Amino acid sequence: MNQDNPLPVPPQLSIECFSHLVGAIYDTAQDADSWSACLEQLRRKFAGNYCSLIVRRASAADMGYVISASGDLRVLSRHHPTVGLSPFSSMRPERVVTTSDLLSPDEWRASLYYRDWCEPHGIFHVMAVDIDLPGLGIYGLRITRPPEAPAFSAADRSLCEYLIPHLRRALSLYAAINHDRQVDSMYRHAMGQLMVGVFVLDENGVILERNAMANDIIARGDGITISSNKLCASYPADNRKLYQMIQKVLSQGEPGKTSMVEAMSLSRPSGRVAWGVVAQAIHSTEWTEGKRRPSVAVFMRDAESRSEPPARLAQQLFQLTPAETALAIQLANGLSLDEASEALNIRRNTARAHLRSIFSKTGVRRQTELVRIFLNSVALLGNQP
């Protein structure tokens, strides 16, 4: 089928029915859980007893992954030792194939795959197509019918061919969206481990989303809170400055303008070091105009937060022993050598010996330098979410 010149709606379907099927296919791009509902609609349309999507094929080291819809029937097992013997395992992508294209009825019934896999599940007629997504893999669509049902017709094959481009695009969209979500999750995790709270505001200053560290900052109730889903400083003077800063940044969010970064500090009732706050415009584009669009990013950091890099990664980065790593982390968190030795329950002379070894391995000469390299190292990013 020529993708640049898609064929019209199949003659055996109404536009409404075809549109409904295509809509169900594209719903899967946003939500993987929608695949079961989509496959169920396809199963019913093709009057099958099973409709399955092979997401990951079984191998000796992997059970594989198959999504199946089977109506009121029990769901098809995900893996079986004879799946590798399937005559549909090495098909040319985008080509719709049925059992009659590959084997005679007697050959099909005599095959080990049919006897051990299909017959126990009430499967006789199979229509299959593989969809190749370069760089992502090959997905397999399988629709089946029981022995007493008619074989798949030319009309069934034609409808399947019409749906292939839509299935391919939906799978590509899902892969792209899922990739973006994974990357976004990684960035959120990294920002959290760097102890940076992130708030994303809309064009009215209303909070659209926030990361885990932002939630932790709000939970402390120490200098910054949320009121009517907007950021609110504890002190009136600070609150006015915060409002003015956000409004100023909002005015910079128009396309074509240089993004200006604004900063301020927020006092904390606890008396601890003030919050550092930075706000930056998120430029809109022609595709992101309208209400409730991300317009401002507000970043907050606690200068007094304690760093907790994973000991194993710190050891690997600086070639330290477990004891030296424990001492270095305590010093990086602002403790003196005496305080660190007390916290670790070791003698001061032992701590001094560890410190000399740490200086030798890291190439620093002063404790302040040690703190700097630890706080600036990538070890913090290795914390589990």
Q: What is the pLDDT of residue 7?
A: 47
Report d(CA 199, CA 208) in Å as an integer. Answer: 8
> How is the chain split into domains, by residue range?
15-178, 194-301, 311-382
- Which helix (H) or strand (E) segment holds residue 192: the answer is helix 154-193
- Which helix (H) or strand (E) segment holds residue 328: the answer is helix 322-332
212 vs 229, higher pLDDT: 229
Matching CATH topology for 15-178 and 194-301? Answer: yes
Extract the tokens encoding 226. 């949320």
Q: Can you give the pTM of this predicted structure?
A: 0.59
The answer on pLDDT for 240 being more than 90 is yes
The yes or no reply on domain 194-301 and CATH 1.25.40.10 is: no
Report d(CA 367, CA 348) in Å as an integer. Answer: 15
DSSP 32-43: TTHHHHHHHHHH
Average pLDDT over residues 148-156: 93
State whether residue 71 is helix, strand or coil: coil
The answer on pLDDT for 154 being more than 50 is yes
Residue 282: closest CA among 196, 183, 214, 201 = 201
The answer on pLDDT for 44 being more than 80 is yes
Per-residue pLDDT of 160-174, as tens digits, reads 999 999 999 999 988
Q: What is the pLDDT of residue 288?
A: 52
Count of all residues that appear for the chain in the document:
385
Q: What is the pLDDT of residue 308?
A: 58
CATH architecture, range 311-382: Orthogonal Bundle (1.10)
pLDDT band at residue 2 under the 50/70/90 scheme: very low
**Owner of token pair 């410190």:** 355
Question: At 300, phi and psi to the nearest 5?
Answer: -135, 145
**Beta strand pairing call for 196-201 and 207-210:** antiparallel
> CA 251 → CA 237, 258, 300, 382, distances in Å?
22, 11, 21, 37
Report how far Cα 221 is from the mean position of its chain's Cα atoms: 30
Long-range contacts of 191-196 (CB under 8 A, 24+ apart): 192/385, 193/380, 193/381, 193/382, 193/383, 194/301, 194/380, 194/381, 195/301, 195/302, 195/305, 195/307, 196/299, 196/300, 196/301
Per-residue pLDDT of 302-342, as tens digits, reads 766 655 556 666 777 778 888 988 888 888 777 888 988 99
> CA 129 → CA 160, 168, 303, 368, distances in Å?
9, 11, 58, 64
- Topology (CATH level 3) of domain 15-178: Beta-Lactamase (3.30.450)
